[in-house]
């Protein structure tokens, strides 16, 4: 199964553009780590929202079952969810890749794909959070900004390696 390809290989396509299941798993692991680091930096920069007692009731029981730092379960679930999302992004890239072929080079294709991820995922999610969760717009803006950075990084790396 490790040699199975995700998406179809087009005639004349270079082998560096292929994305075996094993390669997709490695890329997803890399994207998971990068996303986790970006989210950790963002959390440090916005820590005042997380430690403000006015917002304690907003956080999930997984993230904050009691006052204090999140338990390891939260970290494990964050990594697992990040990995699953990365695999979905890799699959989505292979689906939309033919539409991106007009862009010159993998960097432009990756940035276009990252913009697509941001516009279809982060923007609607951020708008929904603003309507549904009692949090200041500023932290939702920070989350959207880190989501934009992750979308571009993910897009470029997926375009490079798949």
5 in helix, strand or coil? strand
Q: From residue 41, how far is each of 70, 97, 133 by CA, in Å?
A: 15, 31, 22
The pLDDT score that the predictor gives to residue 48 is 93
pLDDT for the residue numbered 130? 95
Compute the distance between CA of residue 129 and CA of residue 50 in angstroms, rounded to an integer.
16
Query: Residue ranges of the alpha helices (H) in the chain?
Result: 21-45, 47-50, 72-100, 105-117, 123-132, 137-161
User: What is the model's pLDDT at position 69?
Assistant: 82
Q: Tally Cβ neighbours within 10 Å of residue 117.
A: 23
In this prediction, residue 68 carries a pLDDT of 76
Residue whose token pair is 């708008």: 127
Mean pLDDT by 10 residues, the chain (162 residues): 46 54 97 97 94 88 84 95 98 96 94 98 97 94 98 98 93
Strand-pairing partners, residue 5, are 20
């Amino acid at each position: 199964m490790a040699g199975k390809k995700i998406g179809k290989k087009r005639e004349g396509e270079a082998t560096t553009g292929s994305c075996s299941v094993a390669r997709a798993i490695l890329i997803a692991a890399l994207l998971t780590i990068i996303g986790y680091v970006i989210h950790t930096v963002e959390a440090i920069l916005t820590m005042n929202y997380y430690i403000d007692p006015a917002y304690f009731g907003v956080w999930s029981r997984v993230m904050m079952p009691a006052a204090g730092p999140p338990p390891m379960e939260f970290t494990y679930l964050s990594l697992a969810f990040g990995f699953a999302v990365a695999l979905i992004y890799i699959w989505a890239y292979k689906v939309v890749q033919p539409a991106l072929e007009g862009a010159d080079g993998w960097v432009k294709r990756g940035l276009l794909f990252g913009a697509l991820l941001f516009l279809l995922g982060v923007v609607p999610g951020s708008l929904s959070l603003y309507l549904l969760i009692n949090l200041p717009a500023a932290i939702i803006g920070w989350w959207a900004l880190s989501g934009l950075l992750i979308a571009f990084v993910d897009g470029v790396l997926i375009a490079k390696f798949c």
